[in-house]
Amino acid sequence: MFPVSSGCFQEQQEMNKSLELVSFEEVAVHFIWEEWQDLDDTQRTLYRDVMLETYSSLVSLGHHITKPEMIFKLEQGAEPWIVEAPDLRLSAVQILDDLIERSHESHDR
């Protein structure tokens, strides 16, 4: 067996931390009705695609989670807004704008 340097061990611990499981709720973006009304069709479509892809990715990675109500709504073409806004640091519109910007940047490459 090879000796493990403390630097290598620390790097492995850092990698293990980054591999910790996250829940769908930790990465999902929620909109209240008023915010949802501010989105145009392109933003709503992008939101739908990103949320469905995120859920699908978590499931494919082995997460055994109950399908969130939001995903049922998105799959049925229903509007996924919620009655009350959760306590968020950034508004959902700001987060969606960031997603759109990143999407445009990746398509430009």
Taking only the tens place, the pLDDT of each residue in 6-33 is 566 677 666 555 556 778 888 899 888 8
Q: What is the 3-state secondary structure (H, E, C) of 62-101?
A: CCCCCCCHHHHHHHCCCCCCECCCCCCCCCHHHHHHHHHH
Domain chopping of the chain, boundaries? 22-108
Q: Which residues contact 46 (CB under 8 A, 6 or more apart)?
A: 96, 99, 100, 103
What is this structure's pTM? 0.58
Taking only the tens place, the pLDDT of each residue in 51-97 is 999 999 988 888 888 899 989 999 999 888 877 655 555 566 677 77
